[in-house]
Amino acid sequence: MTKKIAVLPGDGVGNEVMEAALIVLDQLDLDVEYEWGDIGWEFWKTEGDALPARTVELLKRTDACLFGAITSMPKEECEEVLIPELKGQGLVYRSPIVRLRQMFDLYVNYRPCKAFKNNPLIYREGIDLHVFRENTEGLYAGIEFHPLADDLRAKMLEFNKNMGKFDGVPGEDIAMSCRVFSRKGCERIVRAGFELARDKGYKTVTVVEKPNVVRETSGMMIREARKVAKEFPGIELWETNIDAMCMWLIKNPLDYGVLVTSNMFGDIVSDLCAQLVGGLGFAASASRGDSYALFEPTHGSAPKYYGQYKVNPIAMILSAKLMLEYIGEGKKADAVEQAVADVVAEGKVRTYDMRGSNTSLEVAEAIAAKLR
Ligand code: IPM
Ligand code: MG
């Protein structure tokens, strides 16, 4: 049956890498129908919503989404760029990608990081990491307060008197962002990691948290991990702290395979893992739920490069590869990864990050040519 794919290029270089990925997908004789949608900064400025309702509807009627990149800015800048009619209405910008992950309950953020042979940017040969980042809760739950209401402030002081120290104007001088974990949220991300370890033959799963300090949330993740691990005999659960993990990944990256962690730690550690295999130009991701999935490169919209077709499209192409797996085109997915590996290994066509001078589209063409 024809699969319907929503295509959301978004902002900046998101458009360029999407164009590149479609050059590759067009080689594969896929039974898919693409439908383009609006998302990103442009729609925030002119409509006051970076994720228009029509785009949500589009996702609801498709099987999966290919996503480019979007621009996100801190609060003050967001208000400034609105068209005059929308200013001063109290519109709040929330990252559309974070909203989509939560709205469609795309709880697994899977970020494979593999060192391709002969890539001048890799840190070490043989690195092959699979980051599972919880994608719907934690510090990204959007439960934030400023100023603090009196009852919340009182509650805070009950827990920690010290926090009253700098609270000059009561409530006003303190901001609070809550880190919320649910048992189910922990269980299902750990399970996703173990399932991949089982399917791909990894002997360990490493849960990356900080339960010695952040006792309740990280503690819940570890406790759920221990339970899930019992269902997977032969796969050992390793428990590490996020700080030490960053160090160990630099020291002994080959010791690790599958990493599981919460939303914010996963955001951070997945950039670290990306750099070990050549940087964000190689970092693909899948945001998956039980009935929908969205595929996007880990990189942002890189406004300063927009218009130059300069950035490495491989992260987007590998994200499209993850989409192919998801829609049941495993063989074609493997072929895409092999084509990427071949082009990287040959080293003839490379973008600037790989010390080459080819455009994004030339790299895509070279990959596409391997598939012909
Ligand atoms: C990522 C990005 C996003 C995140 C931003 C753009 C909201 O950094 O996908 O890793 O923090 O999740
Ligand atoms: Mg990130």
Instruction: Write the DSSP string, 1-24.
Output: -PEEEEEEEESTHHHHHHHHHHHH
Q: Note the pLDDT of residue 164.
A: 86
What pLDDT, on the 0 to 100 scale, is given for residue 76?
85
Say which residues have a Cβ less than 8 Å from residue 60's Cβ, sequence separation at least 6. none
26 alpha carbon to ligand 2 midpoint, in Å?
A: 29
pLDDT of 170? 74
Q: How far apart are CA 332 and CA 28, in angstroms?
A: 7
Note the pLDDT tens digit of each residue in 277-309: 999 999 999 999 999 999 999 999 999 999 999
Atom 11 of ligand 1 has which residue's CA nearest to it?
267
Query: Ligand 2 centroid to 268 CA: how many Å?
Result: 6
Q: Please identify, by atom number, the ligand 1 atom nearest to the C-alpha of residue 300.
A: 6
pLDDT (mean) for 253-269: 98
- Report the nearest atom of ligand 1 relative to the CA of 267: 10
Q: Which of 75, 19, 20, 84 is nearest to 366 (CA)?
A: 20
Look at ligand 1, atom 4, and give the residue with the nearest C-alpha.
Answer: 267
Residue ranges and CATH numbers for the domains of the chain are 1-108+286-372 (3.40.718.10), 123-139+180-276 (3.40.50.2300), 144-177 (no CATH)
Q: Measure the CA angle with vertex 72, ends 67 and 78; round to 5°.
A: 135
Q: What is the mean pLDDT of residues 125-141?
A: 98
The Cα 173–Cα 8 span in angstroms is 39
Whether 85 shows a pLDDT value over 80: the answer reads: yes
Structure tokens at 359: 């455009």
Q: Is the CB of 274 under 6 A from ligand 1?
A: no
Q: Which atom of ligand 1 is nearest to the CA of 72?
A: 6
Q: Which of 70-84, 126-140, 153-167 has the highest mean pLDDT?
A: 126-140
Which one of 267, 272, 295 would you pick to mutate in the ligand 1 pocket, going by the greatest count of ligand atoms within 8 A of its CB? 267
Q: Rounded CA gap, 277 and 13, in Å?
A: 21
Looking at this protein, which amino acid is placed at residue 74?
Answer: P
d(CA 122, CA 132): 21
> For ligand 1, is residue 267 a contact (CB within 6 Å)?
yes
Q: Is the pTM of this model over 0.85?
A: yes
134 close to ligand 1 (CB < 6 Angstrom): no
Confidence at 21, pLDDT banded by 50, 70, 90: very high
Write out the E strands in 27-185.
Answer: 32-36, 64-69, 108-114, 128-134, 144-145, 176-177
pLDDT at site 165: 85
Does ligand 1 lie within 6 Å of residue 95's CB atom? Answer: yes
What is the band of 322 on the pLDDT scale with cuts at 50, 70, 90? very high
Could you tell which of 95, 296, 301 is best to mutate to test the pocket of ligand 1, judged by most ligand atoms within 8 Å of the CB? 95
Is 312's C-beta closer than 6 angstroms to any atom of ligand 1? no
Per-residue pLDDT of 138-175, as tens digits, reads: 999 999 999 999 999 999 999 999 988 877 787 789 99
Query: Does 75 have pLDDT greater than 90?
Result: no
Which pLDDT band holds residue 73 (cuts at 50, 70, 90)? confident
Query: Which ligand lies nearest to the CA atom of residue 67 in the structure?
Result: 1
Contact 263, 287 (CB under 8 A): no
Quickly state the pLDDT bin for 245 (edges 50, 70, 90).
very high
Return the ligand 1 atom nearest residue 271 CA: 10
For residue 342, what pLDDT band results from cuts at 50, 70 and 90?
very high
pLDDT of residue 72: 86
More confident residue, 172 or 342: 342
Closest residue by Cα to atom 1, ligand 1, is 298
Q: How far apart are the first and last CA of the chain?
A: 24
* pLDDT reported for residue 143: 96
> Does 224 contact ligand 1 (Cβ within 6 A)?
no
136 CA from centroid of ligand 2 (Å): 14
